[in-house]
Amino acid sequence: MTDDVIRPSRRRLLRGAIAAAGGGLLAGCDALTRNEGFVDLLGSVEPLNQRVQRFLTGDRLAQEFPASMISPVFRPNGSIDPQTPEYLALKRAGFADYRLRIRGLVEKPLEFQLEALRAMPARSQITRHDCVEGWSVIGGWTGVPLAALLDLARVRPGARYVVFHCFDDLSNDGSRYYESIDLIDAYHPQTIVAYAMNGAAIPVANGAPVRMRIERKLGYKQPKYVHTIELADAYARFGGGKGGFWEDQGYDWYGGI
Amino acid sequence: MSAMPLPERPAPALHEWRTILRHRWPLRWMHWINLLCMLALVGSGLQIYNAHAALYWGEASHFATPLFATQAVQGKDGRLRGITRIGDARFDTTGVLGVSDNKLGEPVRSGFPGWSTIPGSKNLAMGRRWHFFFAWAWVLNGVAYLVWSLASRHLDRDLALRRRDWREIPRSIADHLRLRHPVGDEAARYNPLQKLAYLGVVFVLAPLAVLTGLSMSPQMDSVMGWWMDLVGGRQSSRTLHFIAMTLFVLFTLVHVVMVFYAGAINELRSMITGRFKVRYPVAAAPATLSQPPVGEEKDHD
């Protein structure tokens, strides 16, 4: 019965085999990652992720926190100081000329000055911001529920998505950051067009003058520097066609986990 | 080699080797599917960790004082040094954690080195795809394992801890320490330490990994308040997820060492073809033989 005895030569062989298998495995993974069909296969669970999250959470609210838990610094990420000409012009004037536009598949396209937004019934919420990178910060937000703005503009039948157009050019190639959500998330009570953070105007690094808070989503789904909210039947014609700046780089559209 | 017989000495104890069916085919398949999923999950998980190579406790990140971090700092000579922080302690881990060589042999900032991540270079979006795909595969395989183990009575017959197992724990520890191999029926069943390890992985570690994984989702948190209250927040969950991964890796290493210790060929064969050789003392063999010969798949796995 020598089956159970590993001789030294065999041991060497085994060690070599394990090293080769390990190296081969990783090289194989990289080769698979370059294979479009395989990457599509990996992405095939995304609709399942979305459906299960929707099914389990319904329209439940994201956790809210006491003011004592607000993070000392709300870590900014992505664009922190947009340099596009239209943004620089607005910033110089203290955002006095800022207008939020609502357009697309609506009965009544609308435009709001900051003052008009501030005069509307507001919602305040202290929530945790989860970056796709893994870190979290807690901040307080005040803004107008997107649902209220959509109701004023009267969404037309056929509209399925809300597309947010932003001032910042994160990839520095002349394009602009954009994002999209569906109407279920658009009408969620914690989806607000925020104009204040921790009781003051939103700092430039965090999206001044207006950004979205869509609390049950990761950070990249909550665009900063928003100037236009567009209702659309599909998002394929915007940007790279995947529904958002980071989605065009391969990130998932739903962004719930 | 002496040809001289030694009649005055008693003949050495005789043993008989019997081949039994140790693991049935569903278990063998699920075992290897599980391994494949775990490898993909650990590799892609480290890729995701690398996107922010620090762990915290509580709801939010306290960036200046991580519990654990694998960071890079520029030394006075301009060279990158990898620093691993555990609480207040700092260790130079250049080459492995914090800073390691990329495929071109250049030192780069990387929490865990490229050879341990999927994909091998920084790519969070792709790491997430791998992770979520294999998370589903792993969970479905795990559910199949639980259903099969209950239905086939594998759980009840082979894994459940009996009063006898608890009594035998000290002896089992001693046997392991003295590298004493069980023979006969004892070799064909799981020893109590083995049962504890398997039950711990299946019923503690795996659920912990799933719950901590899900609760990193801002959307899932809207219905997981009870869990967040229990662990103290999203960053605690992320840290526990990492610890669960570490324990899985540790379990796997010990598991593989045990396979070698118990006889790599025999053990591997039993998980590939199901056949497992057991040594029975010849006199006792007929009396205690309770394992059916290979081919009768009704009772044993």
Q: What burial class does residue B179 get, using C-beta atoms within 10 Å of its C-beta: 0-12 exposed, 13-18 middle, 19+ buried?
A: exposed
Which of B40, B59, B263 shows the shortest C-beta gap to A136?
A: B59
**A211 contact B CB<8A:** no
Say what the pLDDT of residue B109 is. Answer: 94
Band (A7; pLDDT cuts 50, 70, 90) = low
Which of B16, B39, B118, B129 is the best substitution to test chain A (most A C-beta atoms within 10 A)? B129
Residues B153, B158, B159, B160, CA torsion sign: positive
**A227 contact B CB<8A:** no
Q: Domains in chain B, ordered, with CATH?
A: 15-53+123-288 (1.20.950.20)
Which residues 6-45 of chain A have a CB within 8 Å of chain B? 6, 14, 25-26, 29-30, 33, 39, 41-45
**A250 contact B CB<8A:** yes
* Interface contact B277-A250, CB threshold 8 A: no
Q: Return the CATH number of A63-249, one of 1.10.357.140, 3.40.30.10, 1.20.120.80, 3.90.420.10.
A: 3.90.420.10
Going by C-alpha positions, the residue among B132, B271, B143, B153 that lies closest to residue B202 is B143
Q: What burial class does residue B96 get, using C-beta atoms within 10 Å of its C-beta: 0-12 exposed, 13-18 middle, 19+ buried?
A: middle
| Nearest residue of A to residue B234, measured between CA atoms | A136
Going by C-alpha positions, the residue among B95, B89, B93, B88 that lies closest to residue B113 is B95
Q: What burial class does residue A79 get, using C-beta atoms within 10 Å of its C-beta: 0-12 exposed, 13-18 middle, 19+ buried?
A: buried
* Backbone angle region of A7, left / alpha / beta, with phi > 0 → left and psi within -120 to 50 → alpha: beta
* Interface contact A48-B136, CB threshold 8 A: yes
Which of B52, B133, B219 shows the shortest C-beta gap to A257?
A: B219
| Nearest residue of A to residue B48, measured between CA atoms | A133
Which residues 71-100 of chain B have a CB within 8 Å of chain A? none
Estimate to the nearest angstrom the gap between the alpha carbon of A82 and the chain centroid. 18
* Interface contact B217-A256, CB threshold 8 A: yes
> Which two tokens mark B220?
């899932």
Which of B219, B228, B242 is the best substitution to test chain A (most A C-beta atoms within 10 A)? B219
Return the ∠ at Cα B170 (arms to B169 and B172), rounded to 5°.
Answer: 60
- Which residues, other chains included, contact B93 with Cβ-Cβ below 8 Å and sequence gap of 6+? B70, B82, B83, B84
Mean pLDDT is lowest, of A99-103, A191-195, B190-194, for B190-194
Which of A25, A57, A134 shows the shortest C-beta gap to B222?
A: A57
Which contiguous run of DSSP H or E holds residue A198?
A: none
- Which residues, other chains included, contact A211 with Cβ-Cβ below 8 Å and sequence gap of 6+? A194, A202, A222, A223, A224, A225, A226
Domain ranges within chain A, ordered by starting residue:
8-38, 63-249
> Distance (Å, rounded) from C-alpha B165 to C-alpha B167?
5
**B241 contact A CB<8A:** no
Beta bridge partners of A126: A140
Which of B39, B126, B220 shows the shortest C-beta gap to A56?
A: B220
* Interface contact B221-A249, CB threshold 8 A: no
Give, for all 301 residues of chain B, the pLDDT tens digit: 445 555 555 556 678 889 999 999 999 999 999 999 999 999 999 999 999 999 999 999 999 999 999 999 998 888 999 999 999 999 999 999 999 998 888 999 999 999 999 999 999 999 999 999 999 999 999 999 999 999 999 999 999 999 999 999 999 999 988 888 888 888 888 999 999 999 999 999 999 999 999 999 999 999 999 999 999 999 999 999 999 999 999 999 999 999 998 899 999 999 999 999 998 887 654 544 445 445 444 444 4
**Integer angstrom CA distances of residue B26 from A195, B23, B191, B198, B269:** 58, 8, 22, 17, 15
- Positions of E strands within B156-291: 275-281
- Residue B69 and residue B235 in contact, taking contact as beta carbons nearer than 8 Å: no
Q: What is the ipTM of this complex?
A: 0.91
> Distance (Å, rounded) from C-alpha A149 to C-alpha A59?
19
* Interface contact B266-A65, CB threshold 8 A: no
**A132 contact B CB<8A:** yes
**Model pTM?**
0.90
**B128 contact A CB<8A:** yes
